[in-house]
Structure 1
Amino acid sequence: MPKQTFFNLSSEKKNRIVQGAKEVFAHKHYSKVTIDSIVETANIPKGSFYQYFYNKDDLFKHIFSDIGTDKSNLLFGITTESTESFGELISRMISESYKFENRDETMVALKDRFLKECPQSVKEEILADLMPTTMKLFETIIEVFVAKGDFREDIDIRAAAFTLTSALLNIEKYSDEEGFNYGGAVIDICSTMELGLAKYD
């Protein structure tokens, strides 16, 4: 987490620091990113950096926290307006997530840094930070389908949401096969969950 002094900054300055950091991380291997390169691009004194963040890992985690918030807001909007079946909704959410994550070269590069280059401990902390919001998203979805009568009323919604969240946040562990279709794997996982949650007459 950034230090409180960062959150006390104006929106313009916070945005300038974050955008500058995104540019640096997007164009350099994670191990080659330095505080000097970040402060130069963000146009802030080096001493100021340590008033705002503990280190570059801390800043990288904050970047993904912001990205995660934006993505969750997008997906919550899809959930609340949906009249689709569970499978259709999940498929559309996967499609919208893919568009969001690949909307520009910077986002594609940041995702690549996260998947392939940042330390495993940093990756685990980022995923742990995403867990509550992602669980809340799936709890909301499941509650909608319980209310519609598609899912059983006796299911443990939190347990189901935890299962889906754990699977999706760790989807890259599903297979190490080159060119594996992770989107298809997500749909298979959700279809399996749907069979277990469905209400049958």
Structure 2
Amino acid sequence: MPKETFYRLPDEKRERIMAAAEREFLENSFEAASINRIIKEAAIPRGSFYQYFEDKKDIFLYIVDTHKNEAFDFVENFIKDCNGDIFAFMRMAIDCIISAGFSEKMNGMKRMFSQPWVFDMIVSDRMKGKLEEAKTPKGIMFKYIDKNSLNVESDDEILSLINIFASISLGLFFKIFIMGKNGIECDSEKVRETVYGEIDTLEKKYKKY
């Protein structure tokens, strides 16, 4: 994570450094990314970079963490916009994944998050309890969904529903990533129809009528 000196920088300079770093990691793998290109685009001396970050991995993980927090905000805002209707939220989230999945920036994001050690780091943090459950997407969903609208008898059943959707959305994310990586054209409407069908099945099982 950034050193204290980074947080003391003017907002404009911080944003310029982060924009340069994010562009570098979006366009290149972690191994191919260059600190030299980052400092050149950000217009800062090399020595200054090391006053703000330990190394390339440090700034990379800060970017990953920033986007992870943005994803948490996305979940919270969407579930609130849906007035706690978890199935409306599921469809909205799937639409977002499909739309974003084919954007140029998302291709870079998928490249960033597909680094095996990044995934291991995130999972490891969860296993070690560094992240509170309430601050994860699943915890946020559990907090804000309208539980009275569900045909369930326990919180465990609600968590089971959330876990099923998490598997569906993660599977969709990697399906789009793998197809794009292999140059396979994806019919977004067909994908949407298939996933909506899975959500319809969940709704029939879990929604209280």
Using structure 1 for the length normalisation, give the TM-score: 0.70
Unaligned runs of 5+ in 2: none
> Which residue pairs with 1:63 in the alignment?
63
Deviation at 1:113, TM superposition (A): 2.0
Instruction: State how far apart, in whole Å, the 2-side matches of 1:2 and 1:183 are.
Output: 39
Q: How far, CA to CA, are the matches of 2:4 and 2:162 in structure 1?
A: 31
Aligned to 1:138: 141
1:87 is aligned to 87
2:120 to 107, 118, 124: 124
Which of 111, 114, 117 aligns to 1:113? It is 111
Deviation at 1:183, TM superposition (A): 6.0
SS in 1 for 2:76: helix
Q: Which runs of 5+ in 1 are unaligned?
A: none
1:195 and 1:121, CA in 2 relative to 1: closer, same or farther beyond 3 A?
Answer: farther
- Kindly indicate whether the alpha-carbon contact (under 8 Å) linking 2:29 and 2:111 is maintained by their aligned counterparts in 1: yes
- In the TM superposition, what is the alpha-carbon distance from 1:139 to its structure 2 partner? 1.3
Larger mean CA deviation between 150-159 and 46-55 belongs to: 150-159
Root-mean-square deviation (CA, aligned residues, Å) is 3.8
Q: Secondary structure at the match of 1:31?
A: coil
Instruction: Note if 1:150 corresponds to 2:150.
Output: yes
Task: Say whether 1:46 aligns with 2:42.
Answer: no
* Number of matched pairs: 193
Alignment of 1:151-166 (within 5 A): 151-156=151-156, 159-160=159-160, 163-164=163-164
CA–CA separation in structure 2 for the residues paired with 1:190 and 1:156: 19
Alpha-carbon distance in 1 for matches of 2:84, 2:174: 29
Residues 174 and 25 of structure 1: CA distance in aligned 2, closer, same or farther (over 3 Å) = closer
Q: Are the aligned partners of 1:22 and 1:63 in contact in 2 as well (CA < 8 Å)?
A: yes
1:86 is displaced (CA, Å) by 3.5
Matched AA of 2:55 = N
> Displacement of 1:48 after TM fit?
2.0
Query: Which amino acid is 1:113 matched to?
Result: R
Cα pair 2:79 2:89 within 8 Å, conserved: yes
Deviation, structure 1 residue 161: 7.3
* Identity across matched positions, percent: 22
Superposition TM-score, scaled by structure 2 size: 0.68
